[in-house]
């Protein structure tokens, strides 16, 4: 086996068409960003799946830990006043 | 973590799967779930990669440009499918290098069907029709499996796979409508690929060691025997349209079951091939390991180039 470094892992994001956001499609290995883009084209867009590709080296992504989902996301659950249905209005009021 | 805590986590985990919730890579999971998924997803990826070899054999000898571009595109898809699956597998904490090492050392298995030789052009037809047909039957239920990255990879794979089967069937159709020699070639390919395709769907339910656990984790949604029956029932009418005979004297429509009865499968042959004694096991591994080793200098050169470019960039910033 080679004693040199292995190609790093990259995450691939593809915009399917203008008007839509880039969406995570998967990952791949490449020596540098340029090769990651070229490989992403061949691996993830062989059938016109995209009009734009982003690649980012996986090690640069900071992800939340699912074990902390309680602290992170539960506080939003008891804030029902952030939703329109929390407010009582007479039926006569239209378009609101 | 104490034993009780782990039991609680496991119970909660099983309940999530029972509710049809998906499991994502960073979620807590039982070690056995992780290992089973690494094993199955990597086997699946290896099968895609080794699966390129029997067909690659015919790319340069395809009978027309139309057939050649189609076969090239199919083989390229298989490389792509292998890559989707490897990256899904890596989310479970194993590296690409470890996965390759397992394949190259023979520790990891791949589908036994790829250890059969492709001796005529009709084999390209039979593989697309039968092998990809069986693969689709196996893979469609996996689009709903519990592990998110695997399920997402399978959705993409299944979308692309139906072209593979249709291009194979078209090859068979053309041969069957051709000269008597061409039709005979198609029949010969069916004769050789029929039984290995049935074996490809795995050992019978009473012999399958992983089925029960895999059903619980939705890593399997139908048993091997159910998948095999489904494959036979949908393939026999397709053979009729081609005017070919399925090489099974016991094959018979069962009015009561509304399904075909079929003959005994030679499981000794299956286990021989799985254990490495199929006609092409050695050849396949030699081709795969050889390609990997001959490509080493390219991988190293690309990495060295990338590092040099990065250094140059860093200097400019200073």
- Tell me the two tokens of residue A19: 């008007």
Average model confidence (pLDDT) for chain A? 92
Helix (H, G, I), strand (E, B) or coil at B253: strand
Q: Determine, for residues B96 and A32 on separate chains, whether the beta-carbon distance falls below 8 Å.
A: no
pLDDT 10s digits, B162-202: 899 999 999 999 999 999 999 999 999 999 999 999 999 99
Could B87 and A6 be called an inter-chain contact, meaning their C-beta atoms sit closer than 8 Å? no
Confidence of residue A4 (pLDDT cuts 50, 70, 90): low
Domain boundaries, chain A: 2-61
pLDDT in tens, B50-101: 999 999 999 999 999 999 999 999 999 999 999 999 999 999 999 999 999 9
Query: Please, what's the b/e burial string for B249-272 (b: 16 or more CB within 10 A of its CB; e: otherwise)?
Result: eebeeeeeeeebebeebeeeebee
**pTM of the model as a whole:** 0.93
Reading the block at residue A68, the tokens are: 């902390």
Q: Among residues of chain A, what percentage have pLDDT more than 90? A: 80
Please tell me which of the candidates A2, A7, A47 has its beta carbon nearest to residue B296: A2
Interface check B76 vs A, CB under 8 A: yes
Q: Which residues of chain B have pLDDT under 50?
A: none
Strands (DSSP E) contained in A1-96 are 9-15, 22-29, 52-57
Task: Give dist(CA B168, CA B127) in Å, integer.
Answer: 7
* Domain at A2-61, CATH from 3.10.20.30, 3.10.290.10, 3.90.850.10, 3.10.20.520: 3.10.20.520
- Give the pLDDT confidence of A17-39 residue by residue, as tens digits: 999 999 999 999 999 999 999 99
Of B87, B96, B306, the CB nearest to A32: B306
């Amino acid at each position: 086996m080679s004693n040199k470094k292995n190609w790093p892992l990259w995450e691939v994001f593809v915009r399917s068409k203008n008007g839509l956001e880039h969406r995570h499609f998967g990952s791949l290995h490449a020596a540098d960003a340029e090769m990651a883009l070229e490989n992403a084209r061949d691996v993830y867009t062989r059938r016109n799946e995209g009009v734009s590709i982003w690649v980012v080296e996986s090690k640069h992504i900071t992800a939340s830990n699912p074990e902390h989902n309680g602290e992170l996301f539960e506080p939003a659950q008891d804030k029902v006043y952030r939703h329109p249905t929390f407010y009582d209005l007479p039926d006569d009021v239209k378009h609101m | 973590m104490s034993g009780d805590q782990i039991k609680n986590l496991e119970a909660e985990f099983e309940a999530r799967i029972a509710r049809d919730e998906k499991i994502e890579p960073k979620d807590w999971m039982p070690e056995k779930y992780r290992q089973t998924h690494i094993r199955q997803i990597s086997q699946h990826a290896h099968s895609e990669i080794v699966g390129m070899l029997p067909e690659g054999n015919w790319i340069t000898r395809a009978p027309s440009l139309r057939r050649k571009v189609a076969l090239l595109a199919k083989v390229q898809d298989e490389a792509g499918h292998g890559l989707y699956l490897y990256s899904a597998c890596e989310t479970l904490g194993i590296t690409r290098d470890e996965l390759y090492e397992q394949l190259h050392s023979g520790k990891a298995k791949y589908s036994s069907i790829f250890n059969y030789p492709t001796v005529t052009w009709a084999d390209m037809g039979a593989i697309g029709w039968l092998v990809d047909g069986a693969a689709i039957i196996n893979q469609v239920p996996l689009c709903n499996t519990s592990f998110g990255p695997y399920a997402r990879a399978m959705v993409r794979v299944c979308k692309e796979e139906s072209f593979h089967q249709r291009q194979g069937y078209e090859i068979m159709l053309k041969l069957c409508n051709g000269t008597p020699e061409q039709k005979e070639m198609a029949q010969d390919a069916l004769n050789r690929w029929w039984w290995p395709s049935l074996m490809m769907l795995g050992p019978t339910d009473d012999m399958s060691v992983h089925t029960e656990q895999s059903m619980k984790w939705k890593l399997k949604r139908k048993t091997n025997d159910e998948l095999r029956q489904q494959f036979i029932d949908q393939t026999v009418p397709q053979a009729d349209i081609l005017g070919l005979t399925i090489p099974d004297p016991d094959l018979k429509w069962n009015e009561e079951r509304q399904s075909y009865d079929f003959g005994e499968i030679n499981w000794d042959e299956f286990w021989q091939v799985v254990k490495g004694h199929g006609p092409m096991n050695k050849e396949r591994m030699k081709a795969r390991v050889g390609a990997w080793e001959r490509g080493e200098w390219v991988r190293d050169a690309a990495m060295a180039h990338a590092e040099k470019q990065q250094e140059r960039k860093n200097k400019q910033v200073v």
